[in-house]
Structures are given as structure tokens and as C-alpha cells.
Amino acid sequence: GAGVSQSPSNKVTEKGKDVELRCDPISGHTALYWYRQRLGQGLEFLIYFQGNSAPDKSGLPSDRFSAERTGESVSTLTIQRTQQEDSAVYLCASSSRGLAEKTQYFGPGTRLLVL
Amino acid sequence: KQEVTQIPAALSVPEGENLVLNCSFTDSAIYNLQWFRQDPGKGLTSLLLIQSSQREQTSGRLNASLDKSSGRSTLYIAASQPGDSATYLCAVSFDRGSTLWRLYFGRGTQLTVWP
């Protein structure tokens, strides 16, 4: 596609439920990033995928959060047993390589509201 | 700890004014610095990227400067227009170890330009 796409665009769930967020990166981009943006806060790094290397999960806030990526394509971020503090916009980005020189292209985000 | 701070948090100006957005960072060992624009309901768009060896970058009415020694960057917007209304985010890649790809974001400056 022309850009990074994410689905769903909005998600409302009840506390305790599991949710899955999807990211489709730009075709050919080997690097993929997940961020979280809570209201009034800056973007927080969650996880980074680069090609077939082991992902950098150092930003995941708890073991309720996990992410997968199949090859160099779609990624899924899963939040288990959601809590109200998980409410945020979840942004995905991709770049042609995992280098700082390479601009990260962001998707529109998924707005998650946990009631 | 790498921290990025942006001031002001919000700015409202009449059309035509020249304005300056500020970004400061706690660690002078940066790899590069980027300014992004975020529109409501949309992802981030990269505006300018300054490498650590550069002092400034220009794109149209935008000019970004970098002073590593003082830990500061400014984004200058000339002749502001209502279409410039958005949240502007500063993001820094720090030159520490092997995580040059990791961006640290400020909380942003919400700009409103009124006709």
C-alpha cells in the first residue's frame, strides 16, 4: 500500500478483555515499530522488529503486552486482560531499515478505550 | 536517562506571525533529531531531520536548528498559516550503544493559527 495502515481505527473494550491491534507496514520496509501515546503524554516506544532478528521488547510495559510479526509484513500487538490505564492511541511505524537515518513512517493509529 | 522536553505545551497565534517552538534534551550525545507534525486522527509526518553533525535544516517555511552543547533545538515557522495548526513533536535518537533507531519523543506543542 501507499502508507502504513492500522486496524481497527477505534476499539472500545471492557476491562479484562483481550484485544488485538494490527499493523500493515509499507511494502519492503524491514523495520517496524510500535508506540503508545497516552493522553497528554509523549510517544512511548513499545517494541521494534528488524527483519528476521529477535525483536527488541524492552519497551513493553508488562507481560500482558506481546507482539508478533510474520516475516517483513503484518504485525499484531496483543494486550491481554486489558486495564483502564491501557487506554491510549497505539501507533505503528515502519522504515526501510532500522537506522536512525531512515525516516519512520507512521500509521494513523488505533484508539483504544478500556471501560 | 534520556529525556526530551518541549515548550510551550500550547501556542495560539494569528495568521502571518513567525513563531518558534522549543525542544530540549538531557543527553548531548545525540545521533539525530527529528521534528514531526501530528494532525488529529492521523499519524505523524516527518518534517525535518537534523544529523548530529549539522546545525540546521530548512524546508519551505520551516527551519530547524540544533545546538548539541546546550541540548536544544528550535523549529522556526515563518509566516504561519491556519493549515499549520497541528501538534509538533520533537524526537531524538541518542548515540548510546546499538539502539540508534530508538526515538525519544517530547510531549509536543499544540499549535493553533487563527485567521
User: pLDDT for A30-65, tens place per residue?
Assistant: 899 999 999 888 899 999 998 888 899 999 999 999
Please give, rounded to a whole number of angstroms, the shortest distance from the CA of A54 to a CA of chain B. Answer: 14
Q: What is the mean pLDDT of residues B66-74?
A: 95
Distance (Å, rounded) from C-alpha B108 to C-alpha A113?
Answer: 22
At B83 the three-state DSSP class reads helix
Q: A101 pLDDT exceeds 70?
A: no
Contact of B106 with B91, CB cutoff 8 Å = yes
Residue B16 CB neighbours (<10 A): 11
Q: Which residue of A has its CA nearest to B42?
A: A108
- Which residues of chain B are within 8 Å of residue A32 when distances are taken between CB atoms? none
CA-nearest residue of chain B to A104? Answer: B46
Cα–Cα distance list, A76 to A41, A63, B15, B31 (Å): 23, 15, 42, 29
Q: Of all residues in chain B, what percent carry a pLDDT higher than 90?
A: 76
| Distance, CA of B65 to CA of A48 (rounded, Å) | 28
More confident residue, B48 or A71: B48
Give the chain A residue nearest B44 (alpha carbons). A106
- Name the pLDDT band for B75 (thresholds 50, 70, 90): very high
pLDDT in tens, A83-98: 999 999 999 999 886 5
Answer whether B103 sits within 8 Å of A104, measured CB to CB: yes
Residues in CB range of A113: below 8 A, 6 or more apart: A10, A11, A12, A13, A87
Tell me the average pLDDT across B19-26: 96
**pLDDT for residue A81 is more than 80:** yes
The one-character DSSP state at A84 is: G
Percent of chain A with pLDDT over 90: 72
- Give yes or no for residue A2 having a pLDDT over 80: no
Chain A residues close to B103, C-beta within 8 Å = 43, 45, 100, 104
CB pairs under 8 A between A and B: 60
